[in-house]
C-alpha cells in the first residue's frame, strides 16, 4: 500500500508527535477553525501551541490571523483562570515576502521544511530536543503508524493517570469521621465534662492544653450545628477523598482543623467548637485541585467551587456566633497543605514550595498565639 505524505503534512505529524510525547501537550478542540492544530500544556512556558497550515499571502491576512489567535487566547485565559497565556504560533504556509513581527505573549515562527524545525534560530531554540528528536521511517505508511502508536501510548498513559484520580472510589474515611463526630456529640451531651475538656479556648491553649487545637473540631454546640457540618462533610469529603485518596485526605482534614483552630485562637480569642474549619480546609483543597485540573473541570471551578466558598464566608461575616477566623484559617491551610502533599502527577518543585509556605503559615500563627 502506498500513501503520499507531502512536506507540510509530515511537518505537522512530526511536530504534534514531538509536543504530545515529549513535552506533555494535549490536543484541544477549538470550534470554528480549519486546518489548524491547537495543543495545550498549562504547566509549560508556552501554554498554547498553535500549528496553522492555512496559506497567508499578505500582511493584512497575517494581522487578522494574529487577531484570531488573541481572541482564542482570551477564551483560554477565561477558561483556565490565567492572567497571562504565552502562545507559540507556528505558520507552515506564509508568503516569503511577509516579515513576522511578534505580538505581546505571541511568538510566531515560520516553518517551510524539516530543516527549519532544527534551525538554531527557529523553534529548536525554545525546544532543544527538536534538534536530535527523530522518528525513523522506511515509507510514509510506517511514519504514520509510528506516530499514531506513540501518541496513542502517551494518551493511554495520561488517561490511566486521570482515571485513577477521577474514578469513583469506596468512601471510608469520610464515613468514619462522621461517625466519630456523632459519637463525640452524644458523649459531650451526656457528659458535659467531655465538652469542657476538649473545646477550644485560646487562654487554655496558651497554658499548655494544646490538644484543644485538635479536639475542638470534633465537638458541636447543638444538633443543628452537627447536622449542617456532617451533611457538608458528606458532600465535600466524598469528593476530596475520591480525588486525593484516604491518606492524603486525612492529612488535609486534620492539618486544616489544627490550622483553623490556631487562626481562631489568634483572632477570635474565645470559645470555639465545630468541624467547619476542617471543612473549609477541604474547600481549599478543592480550590487548589480544581485550579490544577481546571482544563478537565471546565467551568466547575468558577461556577461551583468558588461561589460556594464566597457564599459561606459571606454567611460567616453576616451571622453572629460564627467563627469566620477558623473558616479562613482552614481554607488557606487546606490549600497550602494540598499543595505540599501533591496531587496526581507530582511536581517536586510545587510540593517543596507548598511545604515551605505551609511551614511559614503555621509558624507565623503559632508565633502570634504563643510568643507575641
Radius of gyration (Cα) for the chain, nearest Å? Answer: 27
**CA distances, 343 to each of 22, 114, 240 (Å):** 21, 38, 11
**Could you say which of 220, 276, 292, 358 is catalytic?**
276
Measured from the Cβ of residue 247, the count of other Cβ atoms closer than 10 Å reads 9
**Coil, strand, or helix at residue 319?**
coil
**Coil, strand, or helix at residue 200?**
strand
Please choose, from the candidates 33, 109, 37, the residue with its C-alpha nearest in 3D space to the C-alpha of residue 71: 33
**Catalytic residue flag (residue 292):** no
**Catalytic residue flag (residue 327):** yes
Buried b (16+ CB within 10 A) or exposed e, 213-225: bebbbbbbbeeeb
Distance CA 192, CA 178 (A): 21
Phi-psi map region of 37: left, alpha, beta (phi>0 left; psi -120 to 50 alpha): beta
The answer to whether 225 touches 284, Cβ cutoff 8 Å, is no
**Could you say which of 261, 272, 327, 358 is catalytic?**
327
The torsion of the CA quartet 163, 167, 171, 172, rounded to 10 degrees, works out to -20
Strand segments, DSSP code E, in 41-126 are 48-52, 87-91, 106-110
Taking 3-state DSSP, the helix, strand and coil percentages for the chain, each rounded to the nearest 5, stand at: 65, 10, 30
Q: How far is CA 211 from the centre of its chain?
A: 33
Catalytic residues: 276, 327
Amino acid at each position: 500500500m502506498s500513501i503520499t505524505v507531502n512536506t507540510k503534512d509530515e511537518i505537522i505529524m512530526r511536530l504534534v508527535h514531538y509536543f504530545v510525547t515529549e513535552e506533555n501537550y494535549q490536543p484541544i478542540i477549538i470550534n470554528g477553525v480549519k486546518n489548524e492544530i491547537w495543543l495545550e500544556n498549562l504547566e509549560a512556558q508556552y501554554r498554547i501551541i498553535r500549528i496553522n497550515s492555512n496559506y497567508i499571502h499578505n500582511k493584512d491576512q497575517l494581522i487578522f490571523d494574529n487577531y484570531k489567535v488573541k481572541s482564542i487566547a482570551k477564551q483560554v485565559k477565561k477558561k483556565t483562570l490565567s492572567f497571562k497565556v504565552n502562545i507559540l504560533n507556528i505558520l507552515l504556509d506564509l508568503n516569503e515576502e511577509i516579515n513576522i513581527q511578534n505580538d505581546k505573549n505571541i511568538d510566531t515562527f515560520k516553518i517551510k521544511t524539516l530543516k527549519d524545525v532544527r534551525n538554531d534560530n527557529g523553534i529548536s531554540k525554545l525546544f532543544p530536543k527538536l534538534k536530535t528528536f527523530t522518528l525513523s521511517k522506511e515509507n510514509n505508511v510506517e511514519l504514520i503508524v509510528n506516530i499514531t502508536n506513540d501518541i496513542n501510548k502517551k494518551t493511554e498513559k495520561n488517561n490511566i493517570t486521570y482515571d485513577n484520580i477521577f474514578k469513583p472510589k469506596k468512601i471510608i474515611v469520610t464515613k468514619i469521621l462522621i461517625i466519630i463526630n456523632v459519637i463525640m456529640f452524644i458523649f459531650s451531651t451526656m457528659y458535659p465534662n467531655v465538652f469542657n475538656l476538649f473545646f477550644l479556648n485560646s487562654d487554655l491553649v496558651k497554658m499548655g492544653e494544646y490538644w484543644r487545637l485538635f479536639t475542638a473540631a470534633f465537638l458541636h454546640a447543638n444538633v443543628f450545628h452537627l447536622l449542617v457540618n456532617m451533611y457538608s462533610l458528606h458532600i465535600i469529603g466524598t469528593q476530596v477523598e475520591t480525588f486525593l485518596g484516604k491518606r492524603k485526605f486525612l492529612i488535609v482534614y486534620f492539618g486544616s482543623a489544627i490550622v483553623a483552630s490556631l487562626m481562631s485562637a489568634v483572632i477570635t480569642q474565645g470559645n470555639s467548637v465545630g468541624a467547619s474549619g476542617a471543612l473549609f480546609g477541604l474547600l481549599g483543597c478543592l480550590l487548589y485541585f480544581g485550579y490544577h485540573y481546571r482544563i478537565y473541570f471546565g467551568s466547575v471551578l468558577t461556577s461551583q467551587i468558588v461561589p460556594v466558598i464566597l457564599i459561606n464566608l459571606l454567611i460567616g461575616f453576616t451571622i453572629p456566633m460564627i467563627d469566620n477566623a477558623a473558616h479562613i484559617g482552614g481554607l488557606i491551610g487546606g490549600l497550602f497543605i494540598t499543595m505540599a502533599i501533591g496531587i496526581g502527577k507530582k511536581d517536586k518543585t510545587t510540593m517543596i514550595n507548598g511545604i515551605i509556605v505551609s511551614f511559614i503559615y503555621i509558624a507565623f500563627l503559632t508565633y502570634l498565639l504563643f510568643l507575641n
